[in-house]
Amino acid sequence: MKKTFVTTILSATILSGCVSMYDFSSIPGTSFITPPMSASDMPKFKQDIAKLNKQVLSDELGSYYWELNGDKGYYYIVMKQEDLSSLKYLFSKSVGLMEPMYTYDNNADLILDKKATKKRYNYLKNKVGIKLRPFSETLKYHAYLKGRAKAEFNKVVADGFYAGGQVFNGNYGIYNTDYYPTLTSFVGKDFSYIVKNSVANSYYNQISMQLSKSYGAAQARETKNNSSDPRAKYIAVPGGNDSSSNKALKYKVAASSLNNSARNNISFVPMDFYKNVKTGGLYTMQTESSCGYGDLDSMKLQFEISGSSSVFSAVMNNIKKEDKDDIAKEKAKFLTEMSKGNTKRALIEKGCLVGLNALDVSGVIESKKLR
């Protein structure tokens, strides 16, 4: 009973980990631009950006800059007020640690993208002027994620209620109250801020799901082979190849993620925040100081996808059996989105250069190489 509960609660935890509700009045930038909530809001959203194009704006929540890139999208930066002075100092005087980048393999599983990681690292360090810890430490962060997921999973196995508690208090995922002590003990303390991307947390969640799946299969196999109950032989052991429906859904989810214009945008968080956070580290992710690029067509498509049939609903309603043609169709869409990856990352990185220069926050003017 406990073993089944462990895998069930962990899966529910991961599915719930990205869900949070916000009052727009508390989100930096919304006093100038109201975030679109549907595809029908997109024309007004674009008009609002055009009115504010290339203006440095500020309110009590932060400072902002939006710059249109033709009619395709916009470069942006949102700098929270509490981060502005500290990040100006940190960028010019201190050193940051960059999270690694991730991409998908042909099976739509997230893997380390060392080439893209190195390219972004060099861009931020040499072009933008941000001082970063050595590249080897960014790769070490990748090892940290794998080890941290394993450690957290072991806590779930020891106490099935642990995962549920982490969800309800906002501590599920990488960035909980254990983030600062575990990261600094693994990598070191010689950095003052973290350069984040949204996909690192997704990679962590993927590892957690894989551990859960393997654990469930091992427990089912043990019960089936060793139980004296004659009914045990009928126990299904999960594992092996994904069903065709799961494969099609997996490609669909990955393609949707790749299309998301916010994927791989860059955010900056002073490590003092994680050092002092008491709870709810996960829920800061949507309101961090960040920069990047917004693709208007991608945003509209995301609304259309979520409005027609959400991925979560598809999973919970046990979507219909897909055949090989459906798998091929979804894989083709996935590969098309994969082919756009380099272009999208370049736009995001340019967005940070444009935005940080506009706010005069980056270390371009005053920058020294890390010794």
- Write the pLDDT tens digit of every residue in 202-256: 999 899 888 877 767 666 666 667 667 666 666 665 665 555 557 888 898 899 8
Percent of the chain with pLDDT over 90: 39
Nearest to 68 by CA among 58, 55, 54, 87: 54
Q: Report whether pLDDT(125) > 80.
A: yes
Strand runs labelled E in the chain: 56-59, 62-69, 73-80, 96-98, 102-104, 110-112, 193-197, 266-270, 289-295
pLDDT confidence of residue 245: 55
Strands 266-270 and 102-104: unpaired
Looking at every residue in the chain, the average pLDDT score rounds to 78
For the beta carbon of residue 134, count every other beta carbon within 10 angstroms.
13
Going by pLDDT thresholds of 50, 70 and 90, the confidence category of residue 3 is very low
Instruction: Tell me how far apart the alpha carbons of residues 345 and 286 are, in angstroms, rounded to a whole number.
Output: 19
**Tokens standing for residue 192:** 């003052």
Answer whether residue 308 shows pLDDT above 70.
Answer: no
Average pLDDT over residues 49-69: 92
**152/179 Cα distance (integer angstroms):** 11
Query: How many CB atoms are located within 10 Å of the residue 215 CB?
Result: 17
Mean pLDDT of 196-203: 91
Whether pLDDT at 13 is above 60: no
How does residue 186 score in pLDDT terms, banded at 50, 70 and 90? very high
Task: Report which of residues 23 and 206 the model is more confident about.
Answer: 206
Q: What is the per-residue pLDDT for 8?
A: 33
CA distance 89 to 25: 28
Q: What pTM, to 2 d.p., does this model score?
A: 0.80
Torsion of CA 154, 272, 90, 343, to 10 degrees: 40
Q: Is residue 321 scored above 80 in pLDDT?
A: no
Q: What is the mean pLDDT of residues 18-24?
A: 38
d(CA 137, CA 153): 24
Structure tokens at 71: 């009619």
Cβ–Cβ < 8 Å for 249, 314: yes
What is the pLDDT averaged over residues 133-147? 96
The pLDDT of residue 88 is above 60: yes
What average pLDDT does this structure show over 290-316?
71
pLDDT at 77: 93
Residue with tokens 């960059």: 98
Instruction: Tell me which of 75 and 281 has the higher pLDDT.
Output: 75
pLDDT of residue 171: 55
Name the β-bridge partners of 112.
Answer: 102
Q: Is the pLDDT confidence value at 15 over 50?
A: no
Q: What sign does the CA torsion over 191, 172, 250, 238 have?
A: positive
